[in-house]
Amino acid sequence: MDTPTTKHRETEAISNLPEANKAESGQSECGDACELASRPINMKAQTPQATVSTFSITGMDCPTEESLIRSKLASLKGITSLDFNLVQRTLKVGHIAEALPAISAALDSLDLNAKLLDTENPAPETPPATGNLTRLALAGVFAVASEVVELAYGHSWIVLALALAAIVAGGLSTYKKGWIAVKNRNLNMNALMTIAVTGAVFIGQWAEAAMVMVLFTLAEVIEARSLDRARNAIRGLMELTPERATVQQPDGSWVDVDAKMIVVGNRIRVKPGERIALDGEILEGRSAINQAPITGESLPVEKAEGDHIFAGTINESGSFIYRVTAGANDSTLARIIHAVEQAQGSRAPTQRFVDQFARYYTPAVFALALGVAVVPPLFTGALWLDWIYKALVLLVIACPCALVISTPVSIVSGLAAAARKGILIKGGVYLEKGRELSWLALDKTGTLTHGKPVQTDFETRQGADPLTARSLAASLAARSDHPVSKALTVAAQKDGIALPEVSEFIALPGRGVKGRIGAETYYLVNHRMVEELGICSSDLEERLAALEKQGKSVTLLTDEKHVLAFFAVADTVKESSREAVSELHALGVKTVMLTGDNPHTADAIAAQVGTDRALGGLLPEDKLHEIEGLLSSGGIVGMVGDGINDAPALARADIGFAMGAAGSDTAIETADVALMDDDLRKIPTFIRLSRATATILKQNIILALGIKAVFLVLTFMGEASMWMAVFADMGTSLFVVFNGLRLLRK
């Protein structure tokens, strides 16, 4: 059997487990700004005076602003880390306490509307609508009018006046951002556009300069509003919980109370059709609960007294009273939202590559544009105005905004789509790795099986009294939360068997438990431990082998010298497990079952579910060894489990999947991917989503670079104009955003 463990030991062991080294690697050195941007925040590594401050920056719409902030803060002393979340428009700064005023002042100087958030409630405010549409519409009228007048009457002071009016009405914010960028020696899109439009005005291309500025501003507004869809995907999760709930008062009356004011232990009444405000345990009544927002289950789940319920779920029918078990900021939904937001801030491998590429690409193109402007006129006698114009077109098309924005939007859309289906992915790195999964190791009890075995066989030995033997075994089993132990306890309680007190209780990882009852020490252990104790016999081996070949798990009760009784329990395979393994094989993923149960039972269960391999009789370190063996053969290895026995293997695998994480704090905190219910079919869904994300990322990168290459050729051929370049660049930005948002429908 898999090892029984106590609840408090499981939590303690998981929390003390050394973290596997799954840090995102592959970053090359690129200066202080890049180093700070990529360095993860690790509070344990900071000095005792260090802290983390969160800023909401509503002006941070594009990687353009992110790059500007990096370069501005890189020179400040006392900063230990920078953690950008472009989609949520937030920045977490790790720093010593004395550095906060300088950080705030530096952000204020960039005029991006940075605001320090409350550390106890760091939820960013809803960003204001981007752009003044009335002013933009007026700028558009002036720009079109300047083009019409120029076509009709040629160059005149009227064309210049209309063009300047369009630039002032639609481009003051761009000029302001551009000046700040130039002042901070940062060649971002605003700086390039400012230089390009100003240059066009000076060489007499007035109408075109006006049209370029209007198109650029319009595209920025559309792009920002498109990005709001990705932001709203997470914000929608936050709005699932009602703001108020009906709470019982000390005098017995019921009053509507703000959900944030409700504390653990309060009693809440829920009517049919209401959303549940906080996590809790049902005290009175029963109902069918729609848990789709948490677990992704399509059908309501029946809940009765003693069952746990989650904030954000919907009471379909019936009325009940429940006791609050977690406050508003500690609910399962709140932890999911926090985990997804943290995942958004982590950079996936593709995103790191694109960021690195953009850092070198933009200065290189700026240098090329400068060469285009001066080299031909100086060395070939070409016309200055012609080649300056071509250089300005290059500046417009140069910005890598479309390329850089494509990756975070796609990754965040994938994370949000997974969360809607009850799959909590802890970072873009795991979303990208999933498509390459080659081996998936699965625990047995509670993962492939229902984890609710029932006692099927019982036999005493050495003349032991049956009633006493069951009482001793159930007493030891009652101290464990393992499904096999629960089967023994339930069977004893059903027959009304009294359970004596156990002292000096000890869990034996991978083997069982032992404790003192009265004056004697007893063991409730597996077959392997009996052999280690040296009290196994040939006739016992024969009897146990017969039960194990039937796919049953055997637990033995012993004292220091003899086996007193043995119990056989049987579990049932989940129908979803068979389907999941079949889907995994169809996706090219090989499967292996790793269990502490005996090899005969492992083979019997494996035959039912169809795994490629099955290994039984494994201790936690054995499971870890098997994972390391799979890793050494190459490819990405995943591990699925739900208990402390699986924790070392989960940590060592490239991707650790935790089963049934909805009720477990530790699973949500420690797993790379948490399946909020017990349905293994979510793993094939995760793999398909990972592959879809990779496809969209490739499409976006190829399109963004391809269009720039085309316009580079058209520019040197003299066929590209500035307004065409800005239209193509911003059109590409919009395309990659919308393409990334398609993942929300997956």
Nearest to 55 by CA among 106, 130, 128, 131: 106
Q: Which amino acid appears at position 342 of this protein?
A: Q
> What's the rounded Cα separation, in Å, for the pair 682 and 584?
10
Measured from the Cβ of residue 64, the count of other Cβ atoms closer than 10 Å reads: 26
Over the range 160-178, which residues count as b (16 or more CB within 10 Å of their CB) and which as e?
bebbbbbbebbbebbbebb
Catalytic residue among 61, 83, 355, 443: 443
CA 710 to chain CA mean position, Å: 36
692, 677 contact by CB (below 8 A): no
Nearest to 652 by CA among 670, 665, 666, 667: 670
Using CA of residue 528, residue 534, residue 539, residue 540, what is the dihedral sign?
Answer: negative
Structure tokens at 172: 């003051």
Nearest to 179 by CA among 110, 107, 113, 130: 110
- Residues 6+ positions from 98 with CB-CB distance below 8 Å: 49, 78
Q: How many residues does the chain have?
A: 746
DSSP state of 55: E
Q: Is 443 annotated in the active site?
A: yes
End-to-end CA distance of the chain: 39
Nearest to 162 by CA among 143, 175, 148, 138: 143
467, 474 contact by CB (below 8 A): no
> What's the rounded Cα separation, in Å, for the pair 566 and 554?
7
Dihedral, CA atoms, 152, 153, 155, 156, nearest 10 degrees? -130
> What's the rounded Cα separation, in Å, for the pair 133 and 102?
35
Residues acting as catalytic residues? 443
